[in-house]
Amino acid sequence: MPFDKPQGSSGTRAVLYRMAMPDHLCPYGLKSRYILTRHGLDIEDHKLTTRDETDEFMARHGVDTTPQTWIDGERIGGYDALREFFGEKSDDDEKTYWPVITIFAVAFLMAIAVQWSAGDQMMHLRLIERFIAISMCFLAVQKLKDVESFSTMFLNYDLLARRWVRYGYLYPYGEALAGILMLAGALTWISAPIAMFIGSIGAVSVFKAVYIDKRELKCACVGGDSNVPLGFISLTENLMMIAMAIWMSAKALGYISI
Per-domain residue ranges of the chain: 13-85, 98-252
Q: Using the predicted structure, report yes or no on whether residue 25 has a pLDDT greater than 60.
A: yes
Q: What is the mean pLDDT of residues 186-197?
A: 95
Give the pLDDT confidence of 134-189 residue by residue, as tens digits: 999 999 999 999 999 999 999 999 999 999 999 999 999 999 999 999 999 999 99
Residue 224 near residue 151 (C-beta atoms within 8 A) = yes
| Alpha helices, DSSP H, located in the chain | 27-38, 51-61, 79-85, 98-117, 126-144, 147-154, 159-163, 166-184, 188-207, 232-252
DSSP-assigned letter for residue 68: E
* Higher per-residue pLDDT: 89 or 158: 158
Please report which confidence band the pLDDT of residue 237 belongs to, taking 50, 70 and 90 as the band edges: confident
Q: Which CATH number fits domain 13-85: 3.40.30.10, 3.40.50.1240, 2.60.120.260, 3.30.390.50?
A: 3.40.30.10
How many CB atoms sit inside 10 A of residue 94's CB?
Answer: 8
User: Which of helix, strand or coil describes residue 83?
Assistant: helix
CA 77 to chain centre: 27
What local confidence, expressed as pLDDT, does residue 66 receive?
94
From CA 12, how far away is CA 129, in angstroms rounded? 55
**Quick one: pLDDT at residue 14?**
93
Share of the chain above pLDDT 90, in %: 69
Amino acid identity for residue 230 in this structure: L
